[in-house]
Structure 1
Amino acid sequence: MLKEFKEFIARGNVMDLAVGVIVGSAFTAIVKSLVSNIINPLIGIFVGKIDFSSIVFSVGSAHFRVGSFLNSVINFLIISFVIFILVKFVNKFNKDEEKKEEEKEISEEAEYLKEIVALLKEEKEIESTSTPTTKNEKTVSETK
């Protein structure tokens, strides 16, 4: 059972997932800081008060903190938008890199094709100069 556990943990997918979770949590901290320290104050300049945490509804002895929930929703939307922009930027960068690699591959393939065509032309020229021009002459020369 311990051996199976070691194999399970050593698999690439589990390690990739672990790295993803760790990097994701660190990235979340960065994005939260960006939103709370830079983007929310910018929005606050144009909108005014951005903190809704003081909105509370009370029914009997129960207190519903709707304002805190609204703050969380706004933060989620802002964070999601920032991550969307970052992912879009990274995907564009990766796409540009892939295009460059494809162009290199295409140019190498085109180079090889050009060489093949040149060799075929040379071979055709050699055959045309060394072989007879008519079929009958060709078959007579081959039988000799």
Structure 2
Amino acid sequence: MKFWKDFGSLLDLAVGILIGAAFNKIVQSLVTDILTPLIGIFLGEVSVSQWVWSYQLPLMDKVVEIRYGSFLQACLDFFIIAILVFIIVRLVKQLRDKAEDPKDTSIPTPRDIAILSEIRDLLKEKNQP
């Protein structure tokens, strides 16, 4: 039976990975199509990912391009994904904690029964030698 239980956990993990991949595409689109152009508007550029630092190698006709804009965009993607995953994990944890905490659904003892119980306990104490 343990094998099948572990296999179920493996399926849960696989589903999580697939959902994570789809979630990554959504966040990447959010950053690439919405946030990066907004940042570009304030910085006077069309897209941060197009920022390039070019360097002409001496004694050669080669140009080396360092695409730091793509790196910045990847960092922004990671940051947004990390924040969203953190928020989702916290929400799931709060929901699990709520589900695990059984609320006290017991009915409070009426006052007259509580008094009768106290009288019974006092009579038991009095009758004991």
TM class by shorter chain equals: 0.5 to 0.7
Identity across the alignment (%): 26
Q: CA deviation at 1:42?
A: 0.5
Q: CA deviation at 1:132?
A: 8.2
Whichever residue aligns with residue 29 of structure 1, its letter is K
1:15 aligned residue (8, 11, 16): 11
Unaligned runs of at least 5 residues, structure 2: none
Q: Give RMSD over aligned pairs.
A: 3.5
Decide whether aligned partners of structure 1 residues 86 and 119 sit closer, same or farther in structure 2, where only a CA change above 3 A counts: farther
Q: What is the aligned residue count?
A: 119
Whichever residue aligns with residue 125 of structure 1, its letter is I
Tell me which structure has the larger Cα radius of gyration. 1
2:41 maps to 1:37 = no
Deviation digits for residues 85-129 of structure 1, max 9, x if unmatched? 322432443354345446x62434xx37x55xx977644422435
2:72 aligned residue (64, 71, 74): 74
In structure 1, the partner of 2:51 is 52
Decide whether aligned partners of structure 1 residues 14 and 92 sit closer, same or farther in structure 2, where only a CA change above 3 A counts: closer
Whichever residue aligns with residue 16 of structure 1, its letter is D
Deviation digits for residues 17-38 of structure 1, max 9, x if unmatched? 3222222221121111111110
Superposition map of 1:80-99 within 5 A: 80-98=78-96
Distance 2:65 2:69 in 1: 10
Whichever residue aligns with residue 52 of structure 1, its letter is W
Distance 2:84 2:37 in 1: 20
Question: Normalising by the residue count of structure 1, what TM-score does the alignment of the two structures yield?
Answer: 0.59
Deviation digits for residues 49-94 of structure 1, max 9, x if unmatched? 23214x3334336543202xx1221112211221133224324433
Q: CA deviation at 1:14?
A: 2.8
Task: Give the number of the structure with larger relative contact order, counting CA–CA contacts within 8 Å between residues 6 or more apart.
Answer: 2
Distance 2:71 2:7 in 1: 37
Unaligned runs of at least 5 residues, structure 1: 1-6, 140-144
Q: Answer whether contact 2:51 2:70 (CA < 8 A) is retained.
A: no
